Amino acid sequence: MDLYQQKCEAPKKQGVRLGLVSGSGYGISFLALYCINSLCFYVGSWLIQKRIATFGEFFQVFFAITMTALAVSQTSAMAPDRNKAKDSAAYIFEILDSKPKIDSSSNEGAVLPIVHGHVEFQHVSFRYPTRPDIQIFSDLCLTISSGQTVALVGESESGKSTVISLIERFYDPDSGKVLLDQVDVRILKLSWLRQQMGLVSQEPVLFNETIRSNIAYGKTGEATEEEIITAAKAANAHNFISTLPQGYETSVGERGVQLSGGQKQRIAIARAILKDPKVLLLDEATSALDAESERVVQDALDSVMVNRTTVVVAHRLSMIKNADVIAVVKDGVIAERGRHETLMEISGGAYASLLAFHMSAN
């Protein structure tokens, strides 16, 4: 409480100072208004008495001056907001005039006639633009073969989710290359590149629309009824959707509040499947679910991962132990890679230590 009070001292003084300035300006403006009124009546009565002006002429002038004074007083009361409006307008125009380094609306770039889903990181170094003092990757090399499932594990903030961000080209590496089928992703058409990938994150983004619309959003253009139902069945979602009173026309609410965590994840999986992605990206897709929901969602994921290049970011053993390759991200590089059984045999290895830590924590 003492620390909170101490932190509030500066805003409190600023608020008092602003209140005094605003209140004084407001009071002075009304004082000026009443002084002008009294002066007008005094001068007007003298002019009428001397027959220099008529009663009607006096009130014409009086109302003109009164309305002007009222406008001036209201303007002075809003004077403190002028700087706020000025700063806000400057900020808005700065955003409108800014040119993003990665323009998702651009139609420039190449497209590949056939996508096999081979992903490769070649000596990638990367820092987030908002945190240039923290080195995420220093010399990351990682090869993900077509149709292979690769699980990324590591400590928090080690850069596991950053790998997915670089594959989707939310960011570009500072040095090195990210390749899709031996082609640098920076020369590919961005909208086409992302259409080849399906992303299922820890907290899926659902729009305040129907279930049908949220699933159909995954495909550019119109999705047919048959395609939507097929995707829902593959994601193990069709049965629970059919039990809802309005079925696929059920509104999910703001951010999907009408659905449980497992139901939201299965709709997100169906949306990802609808585009038939060559590369499936799973970023902690089951970490926020209870045991029962995790089992249902895991069954859905197991069925859709077949014959696709899959990158899995997860902490739970059930998500990673069956992966073709497990890669341990540590200190900006891949410290270890191999199957679960092979990595567990490395005495004092990074993977074995990490797994032992998580099991003891649980």
Query: What string of pLDDT tens digits covers the 362 residues of the chain?
Result: 999 999 999 999 999 999 999 899 888 888 887 887 888 888 888 888 888 888 888 888 888 877 887 787 677 667 777 788 888 999 999 988 888 888 777 888 888 888 888 999 988 999 998 888 888 888 888 888 888 888 888 887 778 888 888 998 899 998 899 998 888 888 988 888 888 888 888 778 888 888 888 888 877 767 788 888 888 888 778 888 888 888 888 888 777 777 877 788 888 888 888 887 888 888 877 665 666 666 776 777 777 777 788 888 876 666 677 788 888 888 888 888 888 888 888 777 777 777 776 555 55
Query: Where is 342: in which H helix or E strand?
Result: helix 340-344
* C-beta separation of 33 from 70 below 8 A: yes
Kindly state the tokens that stand for 46.
């003298």
How far is the C-alpha of 79 from the C-alpha of 77, rounded, in Å? Answer: 6
Query: Tokens 């009443």 belong to which residue?
Result: 34
Kindly state the tokens that stand for 79.
């004077």
CA nearest to 148, candidates 192, 190, 106, 118: 118
pLDDT, position 289? 63
Segments making up each domain of the chain, as ranges: 2-97, 119-361
pLDDT, position 290? 65
Q: In CATH, which superfamily holds the domain spanning 119-361?
A: P-loop containing nucleotide triphosphate hydrolases (3.40.50.300)
Predicted structure pTM score:
0.68
Give me the sign of the Cα torsion angle 89, 90, 93, 95: negative
